[in-house]
Amino acid sequence: MGRIKSALVKRSTKKMLAEENSFTEKFEDNKIVLGKTMPSKKVRNKIAGYLARLKRVEARESLKALTEK
């Protein structure tokens, strides 16, 4: 089972996804992108991980939608 994310992490992540689309399914890539703007390493890592998870789910759903057609 995974860890529960705080409302701050979820809210910030969704806002970032709406504004910028340079995030990927890889945690390391997202961490580098966020490293320029995040002051806290702990929060940066939580947001980067949650971004990666959302992107993987998004990719899986789009693939599923394509195969159903």
Query: How confident is the model at residue 1, as a pLDDT?
Result: 62
Residue 50 lies in a domain: yes
Dist. CA 17–CA 12, nearest whole Å: 9
Asked if residue 4 belongs to a domain, the reply is no
Range of the structural domain that residue 56 is part of: 29-69
Q: Tell whether the model's pLDDT for residue 53 goes beyond 90.
A: yes
Residue 65, in any domain of the structure: yes
Residue 55: inside a domain: yes
Residue 46 counted as domain residue: yes
**Is 58 a member of any domain?**
yes
Structure tokens at 59: 């990719």
CB 50 within 8 A of CB 13: yes
Question: Would 3 be classed as within a structural domain?
Answer: no
pLDDT in tens, 1-50: 677 888 999 999 999 999 988 899 999 999 999 998 888 999 999 999 99
Domain count for the chain: 1
The more confidently predicted of residues 16 and 66 is 16
